[in-house]
């Protein structure tokens, strides 16, 4: 049954820059499959300074927001509540507007990472390595807290970053050891390698991929494949991409915002792949 005009709802992704976001393609595909013909999903370029004003103007038709950098921490003071998952890494990528008008923040990146790995058959590992130490690395640590039974080695460029990762490990109850980025080639022998660095950073490591690699989770998706992912898959290793992560975290967002499920994973994946190919 087609929803009436009175049931029209809105959602959007916010961030800066935002023109590259695949979220509109993913969410709109989900709405189509779920029969939510009066739902819309847009993108808005919003920075930290503009965020309070933007949120203050949102009306009752709004169902939720997806947030990307640099808003994942800036939004927290503007919310009524955040989930334990979001609080664990002090980052919100999802805001849901409840029926009673409350604004609840969550982080679907963390369970999205776990779901993306599970889709490839990775339920548990006894150790892991993380390349990088930024905001995505803390989310990766939180995901590893759910599936890694042993040590996580984080390869970083500075002692300040190393200290941050050790602090995140203590907070998330993950055994974290830090190592210098100069030794990052050693990371590639881990049962699970999570690359959280910007485009091009791991290119130099591609020549060090072992002959029988295990699993690589590279959070990038454009351009794809990265040199590291291409060499990894060429040697027969399992590769999980940033698109996999984006889709799985968006699935959870759709289910929370629409209060319907399951979200159409396959349709959302096809929409994301089509959008990337069109670029």
Question: Hey, which bits of the chain come out as E strands?
Answer: 9-15, 39-45, 62-67, 81-82, 94-97, 103-106, 128-131, 152-156, 176-180, 192-195, 215-218, 238-241
Q: What is the CA radius of gyration of the chain?
A: 19
CA-to-CA separations, 267 to 30, 171, 180, 211, 272, in angstroms, rounded: 7, 37, 41, 35, 9
Q: Tokens representing 11?
A: 């959602």
Q: How many CA atoms lie within 13 A of 174 on its CB side?
A: 33
Q: Tokens representing 32?
A: 């189509």
3 state SS of 148: strand
Contact 152, 174 (CB under 8 A): yes
> How far is CA 244 from its chain centroid?
9
Contact 90, 73 (CB under 8 A): yes
Give the closest residue to 114 by CA, choosing from 245, 265, 268.
245
CA 66 – CA 105 distance, rounded (Å): 10
What phi, psi does 186 have (nearest 5°)? -65, -25
What phi, psi does 134 have (nearest 5°)? -85, -160
Supply the residues annotated as catalytic: 72
């Amino acid at each position: 049954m087609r929803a009436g005009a009175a049931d029209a709802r809105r959602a959007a992704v916010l961030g800066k820059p935002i023109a590259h976001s695949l979220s509109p393609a993913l969410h709109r595909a989900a709405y189509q499959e779920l029969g939510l013909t009066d739902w819309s999903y847009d993108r808005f370029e919003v920075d930290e300074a503009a965020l309070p004003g933007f949120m203050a103007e949102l009306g009752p038709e709004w169902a939720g927001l997806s947030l990307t950098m640099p808003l994942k921490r800036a939004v927290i003071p503007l919310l009524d509540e955040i989930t334990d998952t979001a609080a664990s890494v002090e980052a919100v990528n999802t805001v849901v507007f409840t029926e009673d008008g409350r604004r609840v923040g969550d982080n679907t990146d963390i369970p999205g990472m776990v779901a993306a790995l599970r889709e490839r058959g990775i339920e548990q590992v006894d150790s892991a390595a993380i390349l990088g130490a930024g905001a995505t690395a803390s989310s990766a640590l939180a995901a590893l807290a759910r599936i890694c039974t042993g040590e996580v080695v984080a390869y970083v460029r500075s002692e300040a970053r190393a200290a941050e990762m050790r602090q995140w490990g203590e907070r998330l109850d993950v055994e974290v050891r830090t190592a210098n980025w100069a030794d990052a080639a050693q990371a590639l022998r881990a049962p699970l390698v999570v690359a959280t660095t910007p485009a091009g950073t791991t290119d130099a490591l591609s020549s060090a991929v072992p002959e029988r690699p295990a699993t690589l989770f590279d959070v990038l998706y454009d351009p794809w494949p990265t040199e590291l992912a291409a060499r990894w898959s060429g040697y027969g290793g399992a590769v999980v991409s940033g698109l996999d992560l984006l889709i799985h975290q968006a699935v959870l967002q759709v289910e929370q915002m629409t209060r319907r499920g399951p979200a159409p994973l396959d349709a959302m994946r096809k929409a994301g792949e089509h959008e990337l190919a069109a670029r």
